[in-house]
Structure 1
C-alpha cells in the first residue's frame, strides 16, 4: 500500500510542477475519501507521511463517510477554495461522476484512485484489476470446493466499481468452474451489514457450501 500511496503523491507533485513553473509556489492537494475505516485510515497516514517530504505542497483530507452528498460537497469545497489538484476515491460511480467531470472540465487536475467513475473525465487513474480479483476469488473457491457447490456471494457497496468488477469476475469464473451462486447481497464493505445479510440468507438457503 505504501508504494501505491507514494506513486499517487509522485503523480500529484509531477502534475503540479508541469502545470506551473513559478518558484516558491505552495501547491494545495485535496483528498476526498469515500469512507472512513482502518484501511483508509492507514492510507491517510501514509499520505500525510509522504507529504512531509514535499515542502512545496500541503494536503487536506476529507472523508465522505459513505455519503454521496457529503463527497460531492467535499469535492466542490476543494474546487471552490483554490486547491490545485483533487484526488478522489468515488463512493458510487453514478453519483460522483458528474461532480468530478464538472471540476475536471473546469481545468482542475483530478486523480481518481481505488474506485473509478463512469467515463474518462479525469487526469489519471490509480487502481487495480477488480475483474481479475473476482476471478482469483473464484479460483480459490474452487480450491475449497473441488467438486463444485452452492455459494452465497456478498458484494461490497452497490454502485461502487470495485464491487461491480469483482462480482463480474467472480460470477463468470465460478460458473466455468462448476459452482452455483444461489444468492447474493450487498455487505457495503461493512462487517456488521454483511453478517446480518448472511444470517438472513442462511435462514432461507439450507444447502450452502461456501460464503
Structure 2
C-alpha cells in the first residue's frame, strides 16, 4: 500500500462510526511504519544466529516443524498469519482452540517452555513487522474464534482494526496473558486507551518497559 493510499484510508476513517480518535497523526503513523520496518529488518540480521539456534532446538526435540503459524485478525479486520517458534506439541489443539494455561499448561514441549519463558518464541514476529502485518507496539492480535466471543460482550473491539496489531502492547504489560473473558475485556479497555493516547513517547515507554520485564524474567 503506497503512502497516498494510506493517507486516504486514514482520512476516511475519522468520518466513520467504525473508528475512534487515534492519538497519532497521519504523518506520525507513516513514520512509525518506516521505523518499525527498518528496526525489524536490522534485528532479523543481528539475531539471525539466535534464530538458527532456536530453529534447530525445536526441530531436534520432536522432529516437528520449528515455525508455528496461526491465523489472526489484523488491521482493517483482515486475516494474516502470525509466526512463532513452536512451543507446544503438534497436536496441542486437536480438540479445538484452547487458551494457554500458564502453570497448568500440559501441552508444552521442554524446549517450548524455555522459549516461552524467555519470550524467544516471539522472534519470528519480526518478519510480521517487516511485512506490515504488525507493528512493534499495538494491540496483540487475536483469533477470530475469540474475537467473536469478545464481541458478544463489547462490540468496541472493531475499533482496534484501525491500527496494526503489535508484538507487544500496553495491555500486555498491565493485564498479562488473557486466559479468561474477564481478562480479555480488561485488555480491550487498555487497548482502546492506548489507541486514543498513543504517541512516539508512549510507544518508547512500552518498548522499554517490555525489555526490562523480559530481562528480569517477568512472565506475561
Is this a same-fold pair by TM over 0.5? Answer: no
Q: TM-score, normalised by structure 2?
A: 0.24
Q: Pick the structure with more strand per residue.
A: 1
Which protein has greater RCO, CA pairs closer than 8 Å, 6+ apart? 2
Higher Rg: 1
TM-score (norm 1): 0.24
> Larger % of helix: which?
2
